[in-house]
Amino acid sequence: MIKRYSRKELTDIWSEENKYKIWLDVEVAAAEAMEKLGQIPRGVASVVRKKARINVSRIHKIESEVKHDVIAFLTSVTEKAGIKARYLHQGMTSSDVLDTSFNIQLVQSGKIILKDINQILKVLKKQAKKYKFTPCMGRSYFN
């Protein structure tokens, strides 16, 4: 996004900080489900939720070494959340996280855009009613 042409609400949604926060939410939600199924030990999701912190610059530094965005993200989370975070992402692919996150960002953006469209429609309706009897010139290329 070109910042000077973008609204803050939308640039916030598409920021790396928000993207990684959503990745973390997706990983925690998956961990909660895996806990219920007995696939990972209980308490992993709550520990990660409490201790994990998003550090974009740290993720970038790790990614420059490992050449993989999700591995860099998971490594950074594990550094903050501790050994229990090693259970994150089990049975998942990078696309599970990336696609889910992308769709969440689309929904977040869509809500803002739909609200704006509704606001524009209210203004147009008001103006249409106000000026419905205003004469105006018109022409057509039909004879």
Q: Which residues contact 5 (CB under 8 A, 6 or more apart)?
A: none
Question: Taking the model in full, what pTM does it have?
Answer: 0.85
CA separation for the pair 81, 67 (Å, rounded): 22
SS (HEC) of 69-133: HHHHHHHHHHHHHCHHHHHCCCCCCHHHHHHHHHHHHHHHHHHHHHHHHHHHHHHHHHHHHHCCC
Q: Which residues contact 77 (CB under 8 A, 6 or more apart)?
A: 24, 27, 48, 52, 85, 88
Task: Please count the CA atoms within 13 angstroms of the CA of 54 that sit on its side-chain side.
Answer: 13
Write down the CATH number for the domain with range 8-130: 1.10.275.10
Residue 41 sits at the vertex; the CA angle it makes with 74 and 35, to the nearest 5 degrees, is: 85
Tell me: pLDDT of 143 over 70.
no
Specify the pLDDT at position 63.
98
Tokens of 95: 């696309």
pLDDT tens per residue across span 19-30: 999 999 999 999
Q: Given pLDDT bands bounded at 50, 70 and 90, which one contains residue 13?
A: very high
Domain ranges of the chain: 8-130
Tell me: pLDDT of 74 over 80.
yes
